[in-house]
């Protein structure tokens, strides 16, 4: 059952069928609680009277998973990293509140309890932990404890006293487990001063790959504020059936320059570039999954989310499929298509390269938000001259070979309505889809009428 906020439930009848991603309502408080929460419960029989069923039940788990991303076997990994003033007090009685003792600011000579929180820690598997000084040198390198049998939610700690002459600044704890690493920042002397602001973008905005193959995109994180962003990181904002990693890159060459999931700072008024990799598990399937991402710092809230600008559309399946890398370029080269009047028109170019398998695709432009009122047409162009190879149409369907490149022009005509400048929502999207509607390539530009 679900607990939803009063008055927020969508207009459904009992037995009504809903689709994945459809809005149901707003999670609300139920009884005595300090924050909104949601319950999901399975029952094997009549509603309310049937026995509750645990989908993880059975000798080695449920024979057939009822969860969207239920792994067939052990799914070991790092859940979280925290620094504590002392080890957290975890109560066995759920009615008694835990005491987490969370803290990320310390002084030289202070005791620190470093917590590495794991899922499915198996017998004899142990996480490695490094404590890194502000200059990147290693203060401590050790291996933490092992589990006594398979432990679904394990906690391993290192209790350590900082040196009396510990350097001030941003320190890092870095845990490595089962080949993957994560970091968390803590501070000695003083915490970051002031609040930074972040903006972000990814390119390309969609990838289509075979399961167990890494889908990679490039990301740029910008700090337009007057405060340095400290202890920053990137992570998916929803569950992904696989692993995620980011690495810093050279902004000129795109060459990888950093390690896996290394925390970073962004000086005021500057930007950092990264490559993001989504590597799915065996058997994973995703059909045009819109993956939101979080770009955060210890002193900066998440960068505002803008669909197809700093999110990634992922399609994953058992076989190779077309994977069209698409880049849109406006006449002003700033990602904004300016239409010189409510009844005027303008165009932008799209360059594509199919880095996947051959296949038949339909390419078409779509107006989002205020751009939905525009009349949109598309033509394939001569890559040398930019001239249309045929009159513009609403969409184009043809077969693309592996490794083939193609270019297009998208025309947007006003229909007597103004399109205010709102780059987060008023956009023209270029999409390449297969016969089942799966997105195999996409890009977008902001649009406005002057």
Task: Give the residue-averaged pLDDT of 5-33.
Answer: 67
**What's the pLDDT at 1?**
43
Among 345, 314, 368, smallest CA distance to 416 is for: 345
Banded pLDDT at 108 (limits 50, 70, 90) = very high
What DSSP assignment string belongs to 232-287? EEEEESS--SEEEEEEEB-TTT--B-S-TT--EEE-TT-EEEEEEEEEEPTT--EE
> In this predicted structure, which of 94-98, 107-111, 155-159 has the lowest mean pLDDT?
94-98
How high does pLDDT run on average in the chain? Answer: 90
User: Residue 219's CB: how many other CB atoms inside 10 A?
Assistant: 20
Say whether 199-317 and 77-188 share the same fold: yes
Query: What does the alpha-carbon distance between residue 324 and residue 40 come to, in Å, rounded to a whole number?
Result: 38
CB 367 within 8 A of CB 360: no
Annotation: CATH topology of 77-188: Immunoglobulin-like (2.60.40)
The two three-digit tokens of residue 182, written as one number: 């994560």
Check if the beta carbon of residue 186 is closer than 8 Å to that of residue 167.
no
Lowest mean pLDDT, pick from 12-21, 79-88, 377-386:
12-21
CA distance 263 to 234: 9
Query: Using an 8 Å Cβ cutoff, are 354 and 324 in contact?
Result: yes
Give the 3-state secondary structure percentages of the chain, helix then strand then coil, rounded to 5: 0, 45, 50
Using an 8 Å Cβ cutoff, are 325 and 350 in contact?
Answer: no
Is the model's pLDDT at 26 over the cut of 90?
no
pLDDT tens string 291-330: 999 999 999 999 999 888 999 999 999 999 999 999 999 9
> Where do the domains of the chain lie?
77-188, 199-317, 324-449
| pLDDT at residue number 98 | 85
CA 96 to chain centre: 34
Q: Is 68 helix (H, G, I), strand (E, B) or coil?
A: coil
- Top pLDDT among 72 and 207 is at 207
Picking from 37-46, 98-107, 343-352, which range would have the lowest pLDDT averaged per residue? Answer: 37-46
Q: According to the model, what pLDDT value does residue 21 have?
A: 64
Residue 94: pLDDT band with limits 50, 70, 90: low
Average pLDDT estimate for 123-139: 96
pLDDT at 43 over 70: no
pLDDT band of 361, cuts 50, 70, 90: very high
Q: Has residue 19 got a pLDDT over 70?
A: no
Q: Out of 11-15, 269-273, 323-327, pick the least confident.
A: 11-15
Q: Which of 68-77, 189-198, 285-294, 315-324 has the lowest average pLDDT?
A: 68-77
Mean pLDDT across the stretch 360-376? 96
> What is the mean pLDDT of the segment spanning 161-179?
97
324-449 homologous superfamily: Immunoglobulins (2.60.40.10)
Share of the chain above pLDDT 70, in %: 86
User: Distance between CA 223 and CA 203 in Å, rounded?
Assistant: 18
Least confident window among 42-56, 142-156, 192-206, 293-307: 42-56
Contact 283, 211 (CB under 8 A): yes
Q: Is 199-317 in CATH node 3.90.1170.50? A: no
Q: Can you tell me the mean pLDDT for 201-206?
A: 95
**The pLDDT of residue 95:** 73
The secondary structure element, H or E, covering residue 315 is strand 312-317
Checking if the pLDDT of 180 tops 60, the result is: yes
């Amino acid at each position: 059952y679900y607990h939803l906020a009063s008055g927020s439930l969508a207009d459904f009848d009992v037995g009504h069928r809903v689709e994945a991603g459809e809005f149901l309502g707003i999670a609300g408080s139920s009884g005595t609680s300090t924050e909104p929460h949601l319950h999901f419960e399975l029952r094997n029989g009549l509603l309310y009277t049937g026995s509750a069923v645990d989908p993880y039940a059975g000798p080695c788990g449920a024979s057939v998973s009822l969860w969207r991303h239920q792994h067939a076997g052990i799914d070991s990994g790092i859940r979280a990293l925290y620094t504590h003033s002392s080890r957290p007090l975890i109560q066995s009685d759920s009615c008694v509140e835990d005491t987490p003792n969370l803290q990320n600011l310390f002084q030289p000579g202070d005791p620190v309890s470093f917590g590495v929180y794991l899922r499915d820690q198996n017998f004899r598997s142990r996480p490695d932990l490094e404590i890194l000084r502000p200059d990147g040198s290693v203060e401590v390198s050790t291996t933490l404890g092992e589990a006594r049998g398979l432990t679904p939610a394990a906690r391993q700690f290192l209790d350590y006293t900082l040196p009396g002459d510990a350097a001030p600044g941003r320190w890092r704890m870095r845990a490595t487990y089962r080949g993957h690493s994560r970091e968390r920042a803590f501070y000695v002397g003083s915490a970051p001063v002031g609040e930074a602001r972040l903006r972000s973008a990814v390119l390309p905005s969609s990838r289509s790959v075979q399961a167990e193959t890494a889908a990679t995109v490039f990301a740029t994180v910008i700090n337009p504020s007057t405060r340095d962003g400290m202890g920053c990181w990137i992570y998916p904002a929803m569950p992904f059936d696989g692993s995620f990693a980011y690495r810093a890159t050279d902004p000129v060459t795109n060459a990888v320059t950093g390690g896996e999931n290394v925390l970073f700072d962004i000086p005021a008024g500057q930007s950092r570039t990264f490559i993001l990799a989504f590597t799915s598990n065996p058997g994973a399937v995703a059909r045009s999954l819109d993956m939101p991402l979080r770009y955060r710092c210890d002193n900066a809230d998440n960068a505002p989310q803008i669909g197809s600008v700093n999110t990634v559309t992922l399609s994953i399946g058992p076989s190779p499929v077309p994977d069209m890398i698409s880049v849109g370029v406006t006449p002003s080269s700033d990602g904004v298509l300016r239409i010189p009047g409510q009844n005027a028109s303008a165009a932008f170019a799209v360059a594509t390269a199919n880095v996947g398998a051959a296949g038949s695709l339909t390419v078409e432009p779509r107006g989002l938000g205020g751009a939905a009122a525009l009349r949109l047409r598309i033509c394939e162009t001569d890559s040398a001259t930019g001239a249309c190879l045929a009159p513009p149409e609403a969409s184009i369907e043809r077969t693309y070979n592996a490794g083939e490149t193609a270019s297009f022009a998208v025309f947007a005509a006003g229909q007597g309505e103004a399109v205010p400048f709102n780059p987060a929502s008023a956009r023209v999207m270029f999409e390449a889809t297969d016969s089942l509607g799966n997105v195999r390539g996409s890009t977008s530009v902001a649009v406005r009428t002057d």
